[in-house]
Amino acid sequence: MAIVTLQPGKERPVTLRHPWVFSGAIARIQGNAPVRGEVVDVYAARGDWLARGCWSDESQIRIRLFTWNHNEPVDDALFRRRIERAVDGRRKLGMLTSDGACRLIYAESDGLPGLIVDYYAGFLVVQLLTQAMALRSAMIAHILAETLAPHGIYERSDADVRDKEGLPPASGVLWGEAPPRLLHVQLPGNIRHAVDLRAGQKTGAYLDQAFNRLRVAAHCAGAEILDCFCYTGGFTIAAARAGACRATAVDTSEAALNMLRDGLALNATTTPVETVAADVFQVLRRYRDEQRRFDVVVLDPPKFAHTHAHVERATRGYKDVNLLAMQVLRPGGILATFSCSGLVSSDLFQKVVFGAALDARRDVQIIERLTQSPDHPVLLTFPEGEYLKGLICRVW
């Protein structure tokens, strides 16, 4: 096994159990140059053993650490223990039910950097996002099959981050049956959804919002709601179930809006829902100018900030869309606003919403703060795992 020695003074994050070693922290490598995904030992400059992890020869994150215990090899047994622990955590949350859906393995937060596994009514969808995970796909599929006895395991490693690892996109059946084109799942609050595991966004659904939809729905009885960036209508369907009198759902994806209509049919709601395939910014400007007003507006945009360099531009985008949303709200209405950009902190996000309120000349009260659902836990040694923040605001 190759030995990687860090630069003097670069051991602190490792001793604090942060799981990433950047290329700039590395002083030298002894032994044969590690191959992609191979296990390496990490030493401090003064010579003490620190941790063990997997090598990546393309990413700036050169090593993902898997253990700080010298006696623990990074082998199949370690993967099996970590996978079983992650699954047990979701079972204890009551989220692993036969027709339900939840995130079973959330990468670094579950001690498995680069591995995402989502459960959808007996099917597993896997993302292998690092060289180490790509190398071990067969072993991981084998352990998952033994642990969960699913109908099938489907790979959706078509995320952009694979680029940084020098890995091409990959998708297809890893084990067992292929999922049907449309699968029905039961989400928290007895909400039924149609999901497309093979072609839908992410692994098919935004599971991180499952409980937040119910928190927002609590304000929707008798209300006219505008669901911006609705995807397959998670917020719209929850609002309809809670007795919204009318809903308008906006997304640029026609495919997502079709699935929203499938979802509405599954939930047998009577709320009239208008779907609008268009850019949210343009739609909001038009409604503002036409004096069209709503009681509840949901803003759940895609990630605006992908790198530190994009944070400023992202905050301008959040500010604009929040300002527009406030302008189409009736006095006393509810704004449920989210950001899933990990690089935009909750403090910064609150400041952005503050800026929008000033420009809109509205009094805005935070009545609830929201985060990602509990099947996306945040490991204390890896705060980067926290990315979703939401504010439910009363806008006077």
Binding site for ligand SAH (CB under 6 A): 201, 206, 209, 229-232, 234-235, 250-253, 256, 279-280, 300, 302
Cβ-contact 210, 370 below 8 angstroms: no
Q: Which is nearer to ligand SAH, 141 or 314 (CB)?
A: 314
Whether residue 230 lies in the annotated active site: no
Tell me which residue of 322, 330, 323 sits closest to 294, measured CA to CA. Answer: 330
∠ CA 300-248-250, nearest 5°, is 45
What gap in Å lies between CA 109 and CA 53, rounded to an integer? 15
In the complex, what is the shortest distance from the CB of residue 183 to ligand SAH, in angstroms, rounded to a whole number? 15
What gap in Å lies between CA 13 and CA 11, rounded to an integer? 6
Query: End-to-end distance of the chain based on CA atoms, in angstroms?
Result: 63
Q: Which is nearer to ligand SAH, 69 or 252 (CB)?
A: 252
Q: Which is nearer to ligand SAH, 66 or 231 (CB)?
A: 231
The H-assigned helical ranges of the chain are: 12-15, 76-92, 131-135, 137-148, 210-217, 234-241, 254-266, 280-289, 311-327, 346-360
In the complex, what is the shortest distance from the CB of residue 241 to ligand SAH, in angstroms, rounded to a whole number? 14
In the complex, what is the shortest distance from the CB of residue 146 to ligand SAH, in angstroms, rounded to a whole number? 31
Which residue in 220, 228, 340, 393 is the catalytic one?
Answer: 340
Q: Which is nearer to ligand SAH, 99 or 279 (CB)?
A: 279
In the complex, what is the shortest distance from the CB of residue 193 to ligand SAH, in angstroms, rounded to a whole number? 9
Q: Which is nearer to ligand SAH, 246 or 285 (CB)?
A: 285
What gap in Å lies between CA 110 and CA 105, rounded to an integer? 6
Q: Across-strand partners of 277?
A: 251
Cβ-contact 76, 98 below 8 angstroms: no
In the complex, what is the shortest distance from the CB of residue 221 to ligand SAH, in angstroms, rounded to a whole number? 19
In the complex, what is the shortest distance from the CB of residue 101 to ligand SAH, in angstroms, rounded to a whole number? 12
Q: Which is nearer to ligand SAH, 74 or 225 (CB)?
A: 225
Q: Across-strand partners of 30?
A: 3
Tell me which residue of 61, 166, 64 sits closest to 115, measured CA to CA. Answer: 64
Which residues are CB-neighbours of 213 under 8 A, at least 6 positions away?
A: 187, 189, 191, 234, 235, 237, 238
Structure tokens at 221: 């009885």
Q: Which is nearer to ligand SAH, 232 or 339 (CB)?
A: 232
Per residue, what are the HEC states of 78-101? HHHHHHHHHHHHHHHCCCCCCCEE
Q: 222 by DSSP, 3-state: which?
A: coil
In the complex, what is the shortest distance from the CB of residue 257 to ligand SAH, in angstroms, rounded to a whole number? 9
Which residue number has the CB closest to ligand SAH? Answer: 234
Tell me which residue of 231, 357, 238 sits closest to 300, measured CA to CA. Answer: 231
- Residues annotated as catalytic (active site), given as ranges: 340
